[in-house]
């Protein structure tokens, strides 16, 4: 081999090493996130139920037509460009995320900076799970991190090893973040999102795990619109019985959804056969929010255990890995009977 070839090979090796080092270097992950008021539609396919391709039954219409119906004023987290110069449109890989806020990503050793703006009519915040923060950046009442309507605040969180994957975890894990002023009312309004922390050495430049081809997020929650910040604001949209103390009215406001959609109205869970697919499962709600997500046509690994059903409780999370091996459109739902009836179901597609 000539000295010229040896020299070129050495230069290439050095450049690759420098690129790899720059990717792995600890960074400050900066986000611009606002709490915005939106009109949310739990079942945009109405009057057709996509799961059965038939019209909604009388039992199903309790949740999508009676009372306030299927459209509610809610608050959600949305990601903006720097300086809040217009919010970022989601790409096709995030089409499934629905009501969830933007994914906040970091690797172990990074810092996270979140510039937050409250565009709602209520005091709100961002309270993170898992990461390291001081009281000033906790996002709870009686601290600087609770933001008045129209106000702004900058949160700073550290990502030590104890915030990342443990010995039995895969290369990334998920936490939640949510508003924590009137926590039940805030989260029923829709203010929740995911934080993904990747193990050091497994992160890409964007802090996604390098050993995964595709990631999906699923929030299993019965949004109780009776307990939302926006109940009074939504009452003028009600038809029929509109008494907040009426049991039938209360029942119609319990929206059993995955990422804020009911009866297979979620779209975007699309993958290819043989891909390395990571599922991040989140729970939220009350004592009725004991959920058992079930994937048809596939199995997954959770901490080394083989499953096709897992369980999640309010504010708990799970990270599971799948290698889909059969093409088709497959049902994906909570296996609690009442939740199936009320619409906590969608589908995923293997191409």
pLDDT of residue 40: 98
- 344 CB-near residues (< 8 Å, 6+ apart): 220, 222, 256, 257, 258, 262, 291, 333, 334, 336
- Walk along the chain (351 residues) and give the pLDDT tens digit of each residue: 554 554 555 555 445 444 444 456 889 999 999 999 999 999 999 999 999 999 999 999 999 999 999 999 999 999 999 999 999 999 999 999 999 999 999 999 999 999 999 999 999 999 999 999 999 999 999 999 999 999 999 999 999 999 999 999 999 999 999 999 999 999 999 999 999 999 999 999 999 999 999 999 999 999 999 999 999 999 999 998 899 999 999 999 999 999 999 999 999 999 999 999 999 999 999 999 999 999 999 999 999 999 999 999 999 999 999 999 999 999 999 999 999 999 999 999 999
Using DSSP's 3-state secondary structure scheme, residue 171 falls into coil
The residues that bridge with 321 in the sheet, in sequence order, are 278, 301
CATH T-level fold of 28-350: Immunoglobulin-like (2.60.40)
Cα–Cα dist 339/292, whole Å: 10
pLDDT of residue 24: 63
Residue 178 contacts residue 127 (beta carbons within 8 Å) = yes
Q: Where are the domains of the chain?
A: 28-350
Residue 189 contacts residue 74 (beta carbons within 8 Å) = yes
pTM given for the model: 0.92
Mapping DSSP onto H, E and C, the string for 61-122 reads HHHHCCECCCEEEEEEEEEECHHHCCECCCCHHHHHHCCCCCCEEEECCCEEEEEEEECCCC
Cα–Cα dist 312/299, whole Å: 17
Which tokens sit at 234? 């939504």
The residues that bridge with 299 in the sheet, in sequence order, are none
Using DSSP's 3-state secondary structure scheme, residue 252 falls into helix
pLDDT of residue 25: 81
334 is an active site residue: yes
Residue 179 contacts residue 187 (beta carbons within 8 Å) = yes
């Amino acid at each position: 081999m000539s000295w010229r070839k040896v020299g070129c090979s050495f230069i290439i090796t050095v450049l690759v090493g420098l690129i790899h080092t720059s990717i792995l270097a600890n960074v400050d992950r900066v986000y611009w996130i606002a709490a915005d008021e939106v009109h949310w539609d739990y079942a945009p396919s109405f009057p057709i139920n996509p799961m059965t391709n038939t019209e909604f039954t009388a039992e199903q219409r309790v949740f999508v037509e009676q009372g306030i119906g299927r459209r509610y004023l809610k608050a959600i987290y949305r990601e903006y460009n720097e300086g809040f110069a217009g919010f970022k449109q989601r790409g096709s890989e995030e089409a499934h995320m629905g009501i969830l806020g933007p994914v906040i990503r970091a690797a172990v050793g990074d810092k996270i900076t979140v510039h937050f703006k409250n565009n709602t009519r209520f005091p709100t915040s961002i309270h993170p799970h898992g990461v390291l923060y001081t009281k000033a950046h906790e996002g709870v009442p009686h601290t600087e991190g609770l933001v008045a309507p129209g106000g702004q605040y900058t949160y700073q969180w550290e990502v030590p090893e104890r915030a990342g994957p443990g010995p039995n975890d895969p290369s990334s894990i998920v936490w939640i973040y949510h508003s924590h002023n009137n926590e039940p009312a805030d989260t029923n309004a829709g203010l929740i999102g995911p934080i993904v922390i990747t193990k050091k050495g497994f992160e890409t430049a964007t802090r996604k795990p390098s050993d995964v081809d595709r990631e999906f997020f699923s929030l299993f929650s019965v949004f109780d619109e009776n307990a939302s910040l926006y109940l009074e604001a939504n009452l003028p949209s009600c038809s029929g019985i509109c008494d907040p103390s009426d049991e039938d009215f209360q029942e119609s406001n319990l929206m059993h959804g995955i990422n804020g959609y009911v009866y297979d109205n979620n779209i975007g869970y699309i993958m290819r056969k043989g891909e390395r697919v990571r599922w991040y499962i989140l729970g939220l709600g009350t004592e009725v929010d004991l959920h058992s997500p079930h994937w048809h046509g596939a199995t997954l690994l959770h901490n080394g255990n083989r499953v096709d059903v897992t369980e999640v409780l309010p504010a708990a999370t799970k990270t599971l890995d799948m290698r889909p091996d059969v093409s088709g459109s497959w049902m994906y739902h909570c296996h609690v009977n009442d939740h199936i009836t009320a619409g906590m179901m969608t589908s995923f597609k293997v191409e």
